[in-house]
């Protein structure tokens, strides 16, 4: 599938690292698009964190195609599961996009108060990552950052908007890799 290969190459160029294709074999994964994977990028000299990204969550007929990625201080199979579940929700439930929040249904990592996520711009990587022009598509794919957040932060974002939440992140000097961080609101 050329689409999936192009998305994977885009991530590899942006993060200058090799990729490990991963899949979650439980649940209704047969309802996901053909070729869907979660790509795992180990830490590198340039990026001292694990990165997980959907590949082929977006499809050619999508009005606003997106892919999502998540950063972590640790390698976790649960990140593969989480991104697969969110991709399934996006494909079969409610279409997601920038500023949407999602309920993880469990803590991001054991003991974490972050049980939700918000789809944000990829501030660490910029527009070079955010907008991917595929060779056989008219609409660019938007690559969004899934930031794990607390219930209070999800409520705040719904009431005040993503920009207001991001201002609170900046004010608190958010450590987005810390699963045990306190809420910023």
pLDDT tens digits in sequence order for the chain, 185 residues long: 789 999 999 999 999 888 999 999 999 999 999 999 999 999 998 899 999 999 999 999 999 999 999 999 999 999 999 999 999 999 999 999 999 999 999 999 999 999 999 999 999 998 899 999 998 777 899 999 999 999 999 999 999 999 999 999 999 999 999 999 999 99
Cβ(165)–Cβ(89) below 8 Å: no
Provide the whole-model pTM: 0.96
How distant is the alpha carbon of residue 181 from its chain centre?
19
74 contact partners, CB below 8 Å, separation of at least 6: 50, 109
Integer Rg of the chain from CA: 16
Distance, CA of 183 to CA of 185 (rounded, Å): 5
């Amino acid at each position: 599938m050329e689409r999936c290969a192009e998305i994977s190459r885009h991530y590899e160029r942006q993060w200058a690292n090799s990729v490990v294709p991963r899949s979650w074999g439980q649940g209704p994964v047969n309802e996901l698009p053909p070729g869907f994977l979660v790509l795992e990028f180990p830490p590198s000299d340039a990026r001292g964190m694990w990165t997980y990204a959907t590949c082929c969550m977006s499809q050619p007929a999508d009005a606003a195609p997106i892919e999502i990625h998540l950063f972590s201080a640790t390698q976790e199979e649960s990140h593969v599961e989480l991104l697969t579940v969110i991709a399934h929700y996006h494909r079969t439930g409610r279409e997601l996009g920038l500023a949407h929040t999602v309920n993880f249904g469990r803590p991001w990592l054991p003991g974490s108060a972050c049980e939700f996520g918000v789809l944000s711009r990829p501030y660490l990587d910029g527009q070079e990552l955010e907008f991917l022009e595929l060779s056989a598509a008219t609409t660019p794919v938007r690559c969004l950052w899934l930031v794990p957040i607390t219930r209070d932060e999800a409520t705040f974002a719904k009431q005040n908007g993503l920009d207001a939440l991001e201002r609170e992140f900046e004010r608190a000097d958010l450590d987005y890799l810390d699963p045990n961080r306190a809420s910023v609101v």
